[in-house]
Structure 1
Amino acid sequence: MPLLHSERIRRGRTRIVYTQQPAPTDDSSPPQRTDVRAALLGGTTFRSLSEQTLSPREERFERTRQTIGLFLAPAVAVIFALLPLNLERQQHLLAAILLGVIVLWICEPVPIPIGGLIGVAAIVILGVAPASAVLAPFGSTTIFTFIGAFILAQAMLKHGIAQRLALAVLSLPGVGKSTYRVVIAFGVITCLLSAFVSNTATVAMLMPTALGVLVVIAQLMQDRGVVKTDFDPLRLRIGAALLLMLAYGASVGGLLTPVGSPPNLIGRGLIEEATGVRISFAQWMAIAAPVCLAMFLVLALVMLLLNRPEIRRLEGVEEYVREQREAQGKMSRAEVNTLVAFGVTVTLWLAPAVASLIGGTESEAYIFLDDRLDEGIVAVLGASLLFILPVNWKQRQATLTWTDAAKIDWGTILLFGTGIIFGALLAETGLAETIGKGASENLNITNIVAITAFSAVLAILISETTSNTASAAVIVPIVIPLCQAIGVDPFVPALAATFAASFGFMLPVSTPQNAIVYGTGAVPITRMIRTGLLFDILGAILIITIVPVMIAVVGIGG
């Protein structure tokens, strides 16, 4: 029988954990039968990395990392500011502040968005630029795209639409009969959802369903004698494959649309500011779709080769899915309203592109729609519908309340604003051009292929140790002036860096979704590193080869 005990967790929390009774000392006694359900579902699921139970060594490392960052960030900024460099005063101070902010982002002595705001405050106080000019990007239309998209995602999270979709796909004929098909099906679901819902929210929504399916598979293996009676369900290859598919599939699907992942909007905003070319919603999807398709095929192949499931044929998963769908019942009014708001938003986002395909970019319909249907305005309009469409008219109860909406990821919105601020100041002060010329001379990068490869690889490396959003905010502003310094159109390298910033598959700290699946205990760190490293390499190759081709096909850029 399993025993209950409590474990200490960071931030003073406790959770109930199931453990197996120690085996009897008499060697002749049979081993205890593992309680699969307790092992996989007995503890808290989808915990972030900071909320997991940490060993004393891990706790010491976290404290040391944060303490070092707290003192290293100002030290780096001050020392760099005092160095006798051949830079203008504004450039020198901006570079010092940015270095300090990067240290804050990597070591996280304060939350990442706060690190960005500290940098913004320092920029104004030290006279690099006036407050009105520095804070102007917070009025960007992209900020409102973020807000609207996040509110829509919050409604999908609250009303369980993602789980309904997941169960619908898993109930398709034949899917529940093979472990390979189950893993791929979860990958498809995750990719599609994360194109419009945040990657983190997508994985969090699907995690309970994935763990439920994993319980059925583990119990089937136990009954068939495929594993020992007292086996550890947290060390199954099928478990690692299923959960890593969730985490990595979300990163891949997040590339498909501009709103799929924060780095997309940041990179697109920086590219538009530097080149004057805006990538429309449809153009982004046209470029990203082949990249996502190729990456998903590679992901499925790599995942199932490196984490080959212990069994292939399944029994019981289809019954489990059917029971879960029956428990859900019919679609609620709130779910219907959410889908209506979501459908209206996506339709209006795509309307200008449809008009251009029908009548061309010179047609009155396209000009009218492109001028009026700003993406930020459409996003907040669609989100506003959630507060208008009723679920109970008599009680005047809408689909979403402001209490629900207030739970969106405001930190990412703040981080996006600070990223745009840093990018704009890099250009306005001339620091970006100085960095570009210095890098081109020292690295001997002279052609678009080399700089595209450099941009993608650097973005992946940075995203392994800090947030994807911060990676895009740091790398793209450096790539653009580097291209301009050597006379190369920055569009391709900057977009490649934007895509690559969403990567980072090796470590739990690389992305929030990695931390979520690692928090279940079913994905050993060594397996994540091995699988993630190979996919990082293959993903970089795909981005470097496909993105330039699709940009040329779409006919956008310089």
Structure 2
Amino acid sequence: MATPQKKPTGFRAAAHLPPNPQHIPLQPHPPINPAACNQSQLHPWCHSSSSVNYSVPLQQASQQPPISRNQEPNTTQTTFPFMENPRAPLLPVQNGSSAPRRPPKFHLPANAVLVTKYLTLLSGPLACLLVCLLAPVDGAGRSMLAAMAWVFLWWLTEAVPVPVASLAPLFLFPILGIASAETVARSYMNDVISLVIGSFILALAVEHYSIHQRLALNITLLFCGDTPNPALLLLGICATTAFISFWMQNTAAAVMMMPVATGILQRFPEGAAAPPPVVGFCKAVVLGVIYSAAIGGMATLTGTGVNLITVGMWEAYFPEARPIGFATWFMFGFPLALLCFLALWGVLCLLYCPHGGAATSLSAYLDRNHLRRELEGLGPMAFAEKMVLSVFALLVVLWMTRSITNSIPGWGSLFHVHVGDGTVSVSPFFWKTLFLTFDSHACACMQILMATLLFIIPSGKQEGEKLMDWAKCKKLPWGVVLLLGAGFAIADGVRSTGLADLLSAGLGFLRSVPYLAVAPLVCLVSSTITEFTSNNATATLVIPLLIQLAPSIGVHPLLLVIPGAFGAEYAFLLPTGTPSNIVGFSTGRIDIKDMLMTGLPLKVAAIATIAVLTPTLGEST
């Protein structure tokens, strides 16, 4: 009886290698008797792990000759992204010597690393001390400026993890006399924070059941005809990424879509063997994914943290004003995102997509049947997937209809405006909120409403198993929640201490700027700052200043806040501008020059879009 063939394990099974082009069947290895073999005749699999390269592709491993006694062992190994950085997305492995290589990292001596670490760690306290001693500000404003210096330096240098630095206001504000501990703690849990938690849990459910992969393959098949059109295929990939980014954070959308995109690109030749049209199209796909994730996050309130920070600060500064709900944001954000998306597609097609006869060079590598086989490999949509989509669709409908217009109040009016978008996605005592609508503190008890259903509805796979359990929620990004809470705490402190009035004086030059030039100028300033700091940190710093500046120049605050908020999302030029840019840069298919060539015209188009929509569509919404 023949020995059964063993399935590859370890890196061989995880690498997702392309099918054997020669269609050579793998023969089972005959039984080996070590006692009957001398050392020089041993099979390669009998050698120790230090002499055999297990990280090479499967075909190459099966073709390696035996290693003699005097032969130097081959220790060259293919580097996987997750071996250098465990947090890097698991992208398809690039095999062969033609794969793009990153330059070797520069390693500092151990003592230099320790000195740098301690300097960055002490930068926050030292900056706080210097501001307290030297800043020409009196009273609580000086204390608030010192606390901001501490927090922002830790954010920028990452002397401690960003979530840990986001906890600093909880001890700095009471110590410096800015606010009580109870007041600061309230900033870390409000309707916006609960909205974020609910959105994250739903996004984890979508990711767990691979709904995003099914959606991506369906849309790719829709745009990939019998004769593939590179521009239409690029449009399908970018549109899918943007749509996913509507409902989850930009980085999560980029991480989820990049393996799908690079899986398509894996069919193309790489390195010197790749013709220029193929190289350009690969760059267009990677750039399209990261920029589409950023643009898609502009459309909805839950798309990115900047949107939530903006709404939270607006409600904190103007509690009596009409709140900015999900539908209100969508009425302005979706047209803006659509125009920016079309500009992105046009720039990518103009710079990278092959035209005319060059486009046919891609047809040999894009197999519609292979895409269909990948979709069939996912199997039919199971009951659990259908229920997750149903809960998600119900949540979107409730978000869109809570508050529609002034004449059509929406279902939120039935609860005396005591519910918000976060109440839909979160509220631990939902039924208490439902019946005690006259209790103004009912909605303060926030936890998951729609997300709670995922912990109740059975999955249909095993008896007692639900769609979600808490073990799956351990990946919930609490760091983002803490970062948002720190932003709200800083905004409250800037307002309560009067520091915003002092800082807004530095933007006094806007008083002499023409009315129609205010929005693009504010957007330009904000988009420049965000290239060197995180989007959320830029919004936290800029938006309170713009709110305080608006009355002094005689304009509505939203005329400054909206361009400043969207400008904080225009991090298109550098890989460090936003984590989603790093996701694309880590694939090795693009470099900084490509980002500058694409991001600069895209940023100009996005600022021009803000300049047109803010005084027109913004007035009506």
TM-score, normalization: structure 1? 0.83
CA distance in 1: counterparts of 2:339 and 2:578, whole angstroms: 21
1:246 to 1:84, Cα distance in 2 relative to 1, 3 A: closer
Q: Is the 8 A contact 1:78 1:96 kept in 2?
A: yes
The 5 A counterparts of 1:459-498 are 459-498=526-565
Correspondent of 1:237 among 267, 280, 286: 280
1:309 to 1:404, Cα distance in 2 relative to 1, 3 A: farther
> Which residue matches 1:102?
152
The 5 A counterparts of 1:165-180 are 165-172=215-222, 174-175=224-225, 177-180=228-231
Q: Is the 8 A contact 2:192 2:422 kept in 1?
A: yes
Correspondent of 1:294 among 339, 347, 352: 339
SS in 2 for 1:422: helix
> Which residue matches 1:44?
81
1:234 to 1:274, Cα distance in 2 relative to 1, 3 A: farther
* AA of the residue aligned to 1:288: G
The 5 A counterparts of 1:274-293 are 274-275=317-318, 276-293=321-338
Q: CA deviation at 1:173?
A: 5.8
2:343 equivalent to 1:306:
no
Identity percentage of aligned residues: 27
Q: Which moved more, 1:429-438 or 1:406-415?
A: 429-438
CA distance in 2: counterparts of 1:306 and 1:67, whole angstroms: 45
CA distance in 2: counterparts of 1:518 and 1:370, whole angstroms: 48
2:139 equivalent to 1:71:
no
Correspondent of 1:189 among 240, 258, 261: 240
Q: Which moved more, 1:48-57 or 1:155-164?
A: 48-57
CA distance in 2: counterparts of 1:475 and 1:146, whole angstroms: 22
Q: Between Structure 1 and Structure 2, whose CA radius of gyration is higher?
A: 2
1:502 to 1:64, Cα distance in 2 relative to 1, 3 A: farther
Residues 383-428 of structure 1, C-alpha deviation per residue, up to 9 Å, x if partnerless? 1111111113762100111011121111111110110111111111
Residues 418-471 of structure 1, C-alpha deviation per residue, up to 9 Å, x if partnerless? 10111111111111012113431x665555544433431222122212221222
Q: CA deviation at 1:309?
A: 3.9
Q: CA deviation at 1:263?
A: 0.7
* AA of the residue aligned to 1:413: V
| Alignment RMSD | 3.2
The 5 A counterparts of 1:194-233 are 194-216=245-267, 218-219=268-269, 229=273, 231=274
> Which residue matches 1:9?
none
1:288 to 1:51, Cα distance in 2 relative to 1, 3 A: closer
Correspondent of 1:534 among 591, 595, 601: 601
SS in 1 for 2:575: coil
Q: Is the 8 A contact 1:162 1:202 kept in 2?
A: no
Could you list the runs of 5+ residues in structure 1 that have no partner in the other structure? 5-14, 22-37
2:476 equivalent to 1:439:
no
Residues 353-372 of structure 1, C-alpha deviation per residue, up to 9 Å, x if partnerless? 45x58x634x8x56216736
CA distance in 2: counterparts of 1:393 and 1:532, whole angstroms: 46
TM-score, normalization: structure 2? 0.75
* AA of the residue aligned to 1:236: V
Q: CA deviation at 1:113?
A: 2.5
CA distance in 2: counterparts of 1:415 and 1:366, whole angstroms: 28
2:566 equivalent to 1:499:
yes
Q: CA deviation at 1:48?
A: 7.1
Q: CA deviation at 1:16?
A: 5.3
Q: Which moved more, 1:103-112 or 1:233-242?
A: 233-242
Q: CA deviation at 1:502?
A: 1.7
CA distance in 2: counterparts of 1:551 and 1:167, whole angstroms: 36
1:205 to 1:480, Cα distance in 2 relative to 1, 3 A: same
> Which residue matches 2:297?
254
CA distance in 2: counterparts of 1:133 and 1:272, whole angstroms: 16
* AA of the residue aligned to 1:167: L
Using CA pairs below 8 Å that are at least 6 residues apart, which structure has the higher relative contact order? Answer: 1
Q: Is the 8 A contact 1:436 1:484 kept in 2?
A: no
CA distance in 2: counterparts of 1:548 and 1:340, whole angstroms: 38
2:431 equivalent to 1:384:
no
Q: Which moved more, 1:49-58 or 1:93-102?
A: 49-58
Q: Is the 8 A contact 2:526 2:564 kept in 1?
A: yes
Q: CA deviation at 1:174?
A: 4.5
1:16 to 1:412, Cα distance in 2 relative to 1, 3 A: farther
* AA of the residue aligned to 1:429: T
2:156 equivalent to 1:111:
no
> Which residue matches 2:380?
330
Residues 177-236 of structure 1, C-alpha deviation per residue, up to 9 Å, x if partnerless? 1121111111110111100022222122222221121122x14xx8xxxx854x599992
> Which residue matches 1:27?
none
Correspondent of 2:205 among 139, 142, 155: 155
* Larger fraction in helix: 1
Q: How many residues align?
A: 509
1:513 to 1:401, Cα distance in 2 relative to 1, 3 A: same
> Which residue matches 2:587?
520
* AA of the residue aligned to 2:612: T
Correspondent of 1:57 among 106, 125, 135: 106
Could you list the runs of 5+ residues in structure 2 that have no partner in the other structure? 1-10, 12-53, 61-76, 90-101, 426-447
Q: CA deviation at 1:59?
A: 6.7
> Which residue matches 2:441?
none
* AA of the residue aligned to 1:57: F
